[in-house]
Amino acid sequence: MKLLKFFIKPLIIIFVLVAAIWLIGFLSRETPTPLSSLRLSPAEGEFKTGQEFKIDIILKTNQEINGADAILTFDSKILEVVEIKPGTAFPLYPRKNIDLEKNRIEITGVKTKKDNQIFTQPLIFATIVFKGKIAGQASLNFVFNKGKTTGSIIIEARTSENILEKVYNGEYKIN
């Protein structure tokens, strides 16, 4: 019996130490970061020929970023781009381009040196005002190559890597 008590006490101490080390490791583990994304809002809609309507590009991330590019394709036979308005995500928007030959919209937003904010909620990256030209179904799609720096991107501040994980496109009916 004394021999059993002699072994039980050290085993309990070892068990408690191992459990404590495991618990500390488990609790200090980094939580996975939510996806960085670009989405269109509204993602779908029905509009009349000649009617102007707005589509917001929503940027979501919880990391410090230097800038972002939103490159979208659209059907210029059905949709006319009336205006591209900068959003609230960045102080500078050096590129707001409409390329009718490629049916593309290209928007770039960047921060200044003094802006070191981490986005804690989704922000409007830009707003595009469209007008329905003729009746038809029009898709608005992000050009996106995950992990690459071609197409739509979100650039993380520390590493300068593209952290854009997901895009959400849109479908619009013109009557």
What is the CATH classification number for the domain harbouring 152?
2.60.40.680
Per the DSSP assignment, residues forming a β-bridge with 147 are: none
State the Cα–Cα distance between residues 61 and 34, nearest whole angstrom.
Answer: 7
Query: In this structure, is the dihedral angle defined by the CA atoms of residues 138, 175, 127 and 165, taken in order, positive or negative?
Result: negative
Residue 105, beta-bridge partner list: 72, 98
Total domain count, the chain: 2
Q: Rounded to the nearest 5°, which phi and psi values hold at 100?
A: -70, -25
> Is residue 156 domain-shared with residue 82, that is, in the same domain?
yes
Cα-based distances in Å from 98 to 5, 58, 82, 101, 147: 81, 19, 10, 9, 25
| Low-confidence spans in the chain with pLDDT less than 50 | 30-33
pLDDT at site 8? 67
| CB distance 109 to 92 below 8 Å | yes
Return the H-helix or E-strand segment holding 11.
helix 2-28
Whether 90 and 6 share a structural domain: no
Q: Are residues 56 and 94 in the same domain?
A: yes
Provide the pLDDT for residue 11. 55
The Cβ of residue 32 has, within 10 Å, a number of other Cβ atoms equal to 6
Q: Are residues 56 and 131 in the same domain?
A: yes
Residue 149 has a pLDDT of 86
Q: Are residues 48 and 97 in the same domain?
A: yes
Same domain, 66 and 131: yes
| 166: containing domain | 36-174
Do 95 and 145 share a domain, yes or no? yes
For residue 33, the model assigns a pLDDT of 47
